[in-house]
Amino acid sequence: MSPNRSHDIAADRIARKLGTEYNRGKGPDIKKPNMVVEVETDQTVKDGLRQLQGFRKSVYIAGSNQKALNVALKTTKNTTVGVMDAWGKIVKRSSRKKR
């Protein structure tokens, strides 16, 4: 399975769970009024962190697989960015609040 395919599958699954749609274009993968989620592979976690800068709501990186989840947990340590698994289960809660 290509990294893009696992990314798309995870993004679709999480968006459905959150009751919204996966944005395949520019901007965040999943956006709700109170939350932004970037789905990333183990190679793109740092890109996801950059993309979440500036959002004034709960922000999450969702790992598209177990390896990506582990990288995301390490990379977001001591940040306000939360982490989800590929099914949308929150593993580390975002501490960023609306201002």
Specify if 34 maps to a domain.
yes
Domain count across the chain: 1
Give mean pLDDT, residues 28-51.
95
Q: Estimate to the nearest angstrom the gap between the alpha carbon of 52 and the chain centroid.
A: 9
Q: What is the overall mean pLDDT for the chain?
A: 93
- Residue-range definition of the domain harbouring residue 56: 3-92
Characterize 77-93 residue by residue with b for buried, 16 or more Cβ atoms within 10 angstroms of its Cβ, and e for exposed. Answer: eebebbbbbbebeeebe
Q: Is residue 80 part of a domain?
A: yes
Taking 80 as the threshold, does the pLDDT of residue 75 lie above it? yes
pTM of this structure: 0.92
Residue 13 lies in a domain: yes
pLDDT in tens, 48-73: 999 999 999 999 999 999 999 999 99
Q: What is the mean pLDDT of residues 77-92?
A: 96
